[in-house]
């Protein structure tokens, strides 16, 4: 009797049984998805391991694609079919067109054998696949990063694939991908582009950022050749022209390393800049700079001039320094400007103590200015009064500025 009652109860509640089967099917699909995601994450972690051989990488990627194909074949739990067990193979054909096949073994859980894809089923599959987008994105990025490190797997030369002439400079927090780095051929075009823009606009902020971006691409690709020297020399010259010694210094330091590797460039020119830079920023460092210069280099005209400038600055010999300023080669005057300004400040303080008044013409000759207007404006900035009508320096009315002698 108990069995008959149970059967009659099942017949009386067909809708409840359908809902129960749908809930079980949805739970089963969720479990399968959870297991699949764990396997995808494990594969992704293995792909992220450094030094992975190309053969092993290809095998893992193939395995990953197989997992995704199986996941794509997973039925939607929202259909009227299910993953439930049965005592014999059965087939149900719900009205939505999806056909499920249950396994023959009792108590087992299976995945559909064949599915008629409807637009609704396609939409549900795409929604399900989007859950694993993060895993796939991580795999794609890591694949590119590993290619950047391909030289560790036997490939000696690895170049980037970016084709942009202009690229924003960003400090690196990890190894860049190949599509974020420009190869040497593109970098040469990018340098010419920056040089042309500099001649047209003289926009230092733009030029500095683009040159730093070019330098970064050279560094991550381990490119150290004559083109590298050309890039750093260009950046150093532009920085000098703008008085940006903070940017000039790292360029000079890298150039010294490249010259030491016997890579050709304007070595004597920038070696002389090194002496002048030491005289400007840290005179005590000058002796160390001289110690690292070969004796033959001291006979070069650029080096002779730089040594004479350093001696004149150490002696506070303004006349000699002004004479050397007029004959300075290449971009040496940009490094001599701070030395001249330092000596001019000292002389201006001395002029303010003269009595009687000093002619502006004498002050211009002493301080190395071409016109009376230039020397007068300079003295006024230092707190010294000027009589523009009489063209004299009012020494008695002036208060000597505070100058570090």
Token couple for 288: 């160390």
Q: Is the pTM of this model over 0.85?
A: no
| Across 275-300, average pLDDT | 86
C-alpha separations of 106 from 61, 90, 91, 110, 117 in Å? 35, 12, 15, 11, 28
pLDDT at residue 154, as a whole number: 54
pLDDT in tens, 86-102: 444 444 444 443 343 44
Domain annotation covers residue 177: no
Residue 198 banded pLDDT, cuts 50, 70, 90: very high
CA distance 394 to 98: 103
| Domain assignment of residue 271, yes or no | no
DSSP 91: E
Where a domain ends, among 117, 150, 183?
150
- The β-bridge partners of 94 are none
248: its two tokens: 């000039």
Residue 57 main-chain phi, psi, to 5 deg: -65, -45
Provide DSSP, 125-171: HHHHHHTTHHHHHHHHHHHHHHHHTGGGGT----------S------
pLDDT at 357: 77
Tell me if 295 is assigned to some domain: no
Neighbours of 235 (CB within 10 A): 26
How far apart CA 181 and CA 184 sit, in angstroms, is 10
Taking 50 as the threshold, does the pLDDT of residue 384 lie above it? yes
Residue 107 pLDDT exceeds 70: no
pLDDT of residue 295: 85
> Measured between alpha carbons, how far is 122 from 240 in angstroms, rounded to an integer?
63
Percent of the chain at pLDDT exceeding 70: 66
Check: CB of residue 60 under 8 Å from CB of residue 43: yes
- Say how far apart CA 332 and CA 277 lie, in whole Å: 10
Residue identified by tokens 């927090």 is: 173
Does some domain include residue 135? yes
Averaged confidence pLDDT in the chain: 76
Higher pLDDT, 159 or 203: 203
Residue 191 tokens, joined: 């340098």
Does residue 135 register a pLDDT over 60? no
216: pLDDT strictly greater than 70 = yes
CA distance 405 to 398: 19
What does the block give as tokens for 214?
Answer: 């070019």
pLDDT of residue 310: 92
Task: Name the residue range of residue 25's domain.
Answer: 18-150
Find out whether 230 and 218 touch, Cβ atoms under 8 Å.
no
Contact 386, 393 (CB under 8 A): yes
Which of 150, 174, 197 is at the close of a domain?
150
Task: Evaluate whether residue 395 is within a structural domain.
Answer: yes
pLDDT of 79 over the 50 cut: no
Contact in structure between 322 and 368 (CB atoms under 8 Å): yes
Residue 91, beta-bridge partner list = 101
Tell me the range of 39-43, 110-114, 285-289 where mean pLDDT is highest: 285-289
Kindly report, residue by residue over 35-65, the tens digit of the pLDDT.
Answer: 777 777 777 767 666 555 666 766 777 777 7
**pLDDT value, residue 74:** 61
Higher-scoring residue by pLDDT: 120, 231: 231
- 247 within some domain: no
235 vs 310: CA distance, rounded Å: 24
Number of folded domains that form the chain: 2
Q: How big is the CA angle at 29 (ends 141 and 87), to the nearest 5 degrees?
A: 140
**Residue 394 pLDDT more than 90?**
no
pLDDT beyond 70 at 106: no
Task: Assess contact for 206 and 197: CB atoms under 8 A.
Answer: yes
The answer to whether residue 151 scores a pLDDT higher than 60 is no
Peptide bond into 356 cis (omega under 30): yes
Do 397 and 384 meet the contact criterion of CB atoms below 8 Å apart?
no
pLDDT over threshold 80, residue 341: yes
Report yes or no on 79 lying in a domain. Answer: yes
How would residue 149 be classed by pLDDT, with cut points 50, 70 and 90?
A: low
- What is the model's pLDDT at position 72? 64
**Domain boundary, last residue among 150, 182, 213:** 150
The CA distance from 378 to 329, in Å, is: 26
Q: Average pLDDT, stretch 318-343?
A: 89
First CA to last CA across the chain, in angstroms?
A: 117
pLDDT at site 76: 54
pLDDT at 143: 47
DSSP for residue 176: P
Largest distance between two CA atoms of the chain: 135
Q: Is residue 116 part of a domain?
A: yes
């Amino acid at each position: 009797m108990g069995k008959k009652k149970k059967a009659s109860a099942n017949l009386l509640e067909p809708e409840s049984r359908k809902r129960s089967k749908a809930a079980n099917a949805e739970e089963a699909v969720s479990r399968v998805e959870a297991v699949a995601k764990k396997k995808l994450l494990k594969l992704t972690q293995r792909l992220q391991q450094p030094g992975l051989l190309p053969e092993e990488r290809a095998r893992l990627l193939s395995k990953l694609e197989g997992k995704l194909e199986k996941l794509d074949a997973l039925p939607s739990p929202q259909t009227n079919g299910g993953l439930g067990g049965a005592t014999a193979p059965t087939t149900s054909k719900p009205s939505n067109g999806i056909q499920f096949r249950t396994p023959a073994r009792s108590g087992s859980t299976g995945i559909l054998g064949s599915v008629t894809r409807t637009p609704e089923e396609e939409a549900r599959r795409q929604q399900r696949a989007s859950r694993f987008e993060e895993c796939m994105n991580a795999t794609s990025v890591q694949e590119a990063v590993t290619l950047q490190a391909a030289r560790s797997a036997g490939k000696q030369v690895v170049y980037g694939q970016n084709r942009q002439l202009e690229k924003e400079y960003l400090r690196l927090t990890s190894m860049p991908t190949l599509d974020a780095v420009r190869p040497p051929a593109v970098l040469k075009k990018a340098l010419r582009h920056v040089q042309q823009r500099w001649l047209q606009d003289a926009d230092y902020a733009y030029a500095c950022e683009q040159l730093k971006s070019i330098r970064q691409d050279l560094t991550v690709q381990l490119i150290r050749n004559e083109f590298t020297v050309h890039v750093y020399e260009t950046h150093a010259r532009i920085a000098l022209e703008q008085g940006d010694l903070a940017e000039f210094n790292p360029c000079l330091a890298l150039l010294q390393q490249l010259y030491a590797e016997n890579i050709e460039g304007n070595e004597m020119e920038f070696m002389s800049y090194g002496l002048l830079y030491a005289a400007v920023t840290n005179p005590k460092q000058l002796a160390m700079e001289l110690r690292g210069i070969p004796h033959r280099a001291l006979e070069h005209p650029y080096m002779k001039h730089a040594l004479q400038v350093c001696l004149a600055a150490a002696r506070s010999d303004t006349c000699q320094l002004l004479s050397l300023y007029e004959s300075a080669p290449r971009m040496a005057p940009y490094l001599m400007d701070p030395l001249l300004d330092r000596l001019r400040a000292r002389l201006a303080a001395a002029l303010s103590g003269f009595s009687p008044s000093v002619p502006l013409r004498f002050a211009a000759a002493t301080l190395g200015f071409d016109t009376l207007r230039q020397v007068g404006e300079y003295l006024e900035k230092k707190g010294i009064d000027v009589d523009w009508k009489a063209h004299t320096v009012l020494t008695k009315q002036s208060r000597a500025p505070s100058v570090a002698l």
